[in-house]
């Protein structure tokens, strides 16, 4: 009864976005199928009921039977699509360089999907009951990422090979696969995600004390450790941070390695969270290298000498022939990655359009006291769960974008001077399905003009975001917004922007740009209260208490 009363009171805030709030609230019919429902009944809760019914065999008895079948089918389809990509790439001489890049992106993404589906199958095969909150969140996150990986592949194909026979064949294949992944996610949510979460945030604010050394070190390594801990780049909560080894990168040859990529290669493969971090200390300098931390390099901790001291820089862009996906100066896939005290740059400039400084594909990843510098598409927070604390983020068009579950806390967000005729959009969130547990949450940040925009006689209209995809979800809460924010707040993507299905919200922001009196009047835009805003905090949105404490990075779990 209390839950029903709460829902009635909060209906104006939930009516367009109830499907999102699977983190705390699930539709009334979730987990409601009987032990022997027909495929038609089971499929009603999906985005594609006709497709769902057409692929489910008649012998499936209930939502668990059906969900397992579809997730397994998704794995088979990913493998088939991967073989099709391999067929094209076996004869690269017939393909343009941009086509090859797009196909290689898709190949990489399908390999990720196979890994994620394998993990998901392991969870759903072991029970017909709802999973514990943390495990349910894991699988929903993985299945959400599978859809996003598929969409990223499609976006790359459209970006580079649109209209070709290759694009036509692959796009037709991926259309059905997208529906398959969507119904798999919907049935997982219906059958395995608890109707009401029992997970309770364990901390409102996290306080720290100096970490203890978990292993014996040489005098030089101890000096490195002491240096970073004195600058509060490594801290500990209740127990020590476990560090298995430390290596140093220094361009003058005084460290273990002269390049970051070489240090990453030296890290052990497939480390578990319980084993601790492999720490890479990158001394001050400008590192002109393209860095990728692949999926085998989990639980790396990379520490620099501070913003504008340790700098990783590149200049790839779409105009120069790269896809958005592989234009990144720094790309991380390995789970549990932590970075602190580093500047990441893409210097391609506004004229070269999409040019990514960091592409983050790493689950439970954290960036602390870092700077991200670019223009269009600076920070690609693409998939899975991510946390950013006390970072500086510079850009112009869509410069925080992607479809991760990402929280930005206590950051400085700096819109830059855009090209003539352009407007700035801080976010472009890419949620494509209402069952994805993804979105961008920006809390207690400061949004002011970068130096070039602040000093210019020219003005660049600046908006909080625009909807990249149909279920785009972005929330600003407890931020300071400078006067540069346009009174409308938000901008359409194009004439067909999904203003009914998006979810944009603001809560208790301050500053001259925070006045909501003249904001857009879209059905999907909301001014929310504290009860709703609490769903987008670190502890609730990311279940951050389950994984952030081991990083030693400070965070606020709840609203301020």
* Beta partners for residue 452, in sequence order: none
Contacts of 343 (CB under 8 A, 6+ apart): 304, 307, 308, 309, 310, 311, 312, 370, 371, 373
Give the whole-angstrom CA distance, residue 106 versus residue 100.
10
436: nearest Cα among 466, 404, 402: 404
CA-based torsion, 179, 181, 184, 190: positive or negative: negative
Sheet with 291-293: strands ordered across: 291-293, 330-332, 358-360, 379-381, 397-402, 424-429, 462-465
Chain CA centroid to CA 440, Å: 8
| 128-133, long-range: CB < 8 A, 24+ apart | 128/62, 128/64, 128/191, 129/192, 130/31, 130/191, 130/192, 130/193, 130/194, 130/195, 131/192, 131/193, 131/194, 133/194, 133/197, 133/198, 133/199, 133/543
* Beta partners for residue 400, in sequence order: 379, 427
- How far lies 28's CA from each of 39, 187, 196, 434, 472, in Å? 19, 14, 10, 15, 23
Residues 147, 433 contacting (CB under 8 angstroms) = yes
Residues 435, 185 contacting (CB under 8 angstroms) = yes
305 is annotated as an active-site residue? no
Residue tagged active-site, from 398, 433, 452, 494: 398
Q: Taking the CB of residue 313, how many other CB atoms lie within 10 A of it?
A: 18
Contacts of 2 (CB under 8 A, 6+ apart): none
Residue for token digits 């598929």?
Answer: 150
Contacts of 455 (CB under 8 A, 6+ apart): none
Q: Write the DSSP symbol of residue 534.
A: G
Q: What is the CA radius of gyration of the chain?
A: 23
Give the whole-angstrom CA distance, residue 396 versus residue 387.
21
Chain CA centroid to CA 542, Å: 11
For the annotated catalytic residues, the residue numbers are: 398
């Amino acid at each position: 009864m209390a839950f029903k009363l709460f829902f009635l009171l909060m209906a104006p805030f939930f009516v367009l976005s109830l499907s999102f709030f699977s983190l705390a609230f699930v539709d009334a019919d979730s987990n409601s199928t009987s032990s022997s429902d027909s495929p038609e009944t089971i499929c009603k809760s999906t985005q594609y009921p006709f497709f769902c019914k057409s692929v489910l065999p008649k012998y499936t008895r209930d939502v668990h039977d059906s969900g397992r079948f579809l997730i397994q089918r998704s794995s088979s389809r990913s493998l088939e699509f991967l073989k099709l990509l391999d067929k094209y790439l076996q004869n690269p001489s017939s393909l343009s360089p941009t086509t090859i890049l797009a196909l290689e992106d898709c190949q990489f993404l399908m390999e990720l999907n196979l890994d994620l589906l394998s993990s998901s199958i392991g969870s759903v095969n072991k029970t017909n009951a709802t999973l514990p909150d943390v495990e349910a969140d894991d699988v929903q996150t993985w299945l959400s990422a599978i859809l996003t990986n598929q969409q990223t592949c499609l976006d790359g194909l459209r970006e580079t090979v649109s209209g070709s026979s290759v694009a036509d064949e692959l796009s037709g294949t991926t259309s059905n696969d997208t529906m398959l992944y969507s119904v798999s996610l919907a049935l997982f949510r219906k059958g395995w995600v608890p109707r009401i979460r029992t997970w309770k945030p364990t901390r409102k604010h996290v306080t720290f004390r100096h970490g203890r050394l978990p292993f014996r070190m040489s005098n030089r390594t101890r000096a490195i450790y002491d240096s970073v801990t004195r600058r509060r780049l490594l801290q500990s909560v209740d127990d020590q941070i476990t560090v298995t080894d430390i290596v140093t990168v220094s361009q003058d040859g005084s460290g273990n390695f002269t390049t970051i990529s070489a240090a990453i290669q030296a890290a052990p493969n497939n480390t578990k969270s319980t084993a601790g971090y492999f720490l890479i200390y990158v001394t001050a300098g400008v590192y002109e290298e393209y860095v990728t931390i692949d999926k085998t390099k989990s639980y790396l901790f990379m520490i620099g000498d501070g913003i504008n001291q340790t700098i990783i820089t590149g200049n790839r862009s779409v105009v120069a022939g790269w896809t958005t996906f592989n234009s990144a100066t720094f790309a991380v896939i390995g789970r549990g990655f932590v970075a602190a005290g580093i500047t990441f740059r893409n210097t391609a400039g506004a004229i070269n359009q999409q040019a990514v400084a960091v592409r983050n594909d790493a689950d439970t990843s954290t960036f602390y006291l870092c700077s991200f510098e670019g223009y269009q598409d600076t920070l690609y927070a693409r998939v899975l769960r991510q946390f950013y604390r006390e970072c500086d983020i510079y850009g112009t068009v869509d410069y925080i974008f992607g479809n991760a579950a990402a929280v930005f806390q206590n950051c400085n967000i700096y819109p830059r001077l855009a090209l003539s005729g352009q407007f700035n959009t801080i976010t472009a969130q890419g949620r494509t399905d209402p069952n994805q547990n993804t979105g961008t949450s920006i809390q207690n940040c400061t949004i002011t003009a970068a130096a070039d925009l602040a000093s210019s006689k020219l003005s660049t209209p600046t908006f909080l975001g625009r909807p990249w995809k149909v279920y785009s979800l972005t929330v600003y809460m407890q931020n300071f917004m400078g006067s540069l924010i346009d009174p409308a707040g938000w901008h359409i993507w194009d004439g067909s922007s999904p203003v009914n299905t998006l979810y944009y919200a603001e809560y208790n922001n301050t500053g001259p740009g925070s006045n909501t009196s003249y904001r857009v009047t879209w059905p999907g835009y909301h001014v929310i209260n504290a009860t709703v805003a609490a769903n987008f905090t670190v502890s609730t949105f990311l279940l951050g208490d389950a994984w952030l404490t081991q990083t030693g990075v400070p965070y606020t779990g709840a609203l301020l």
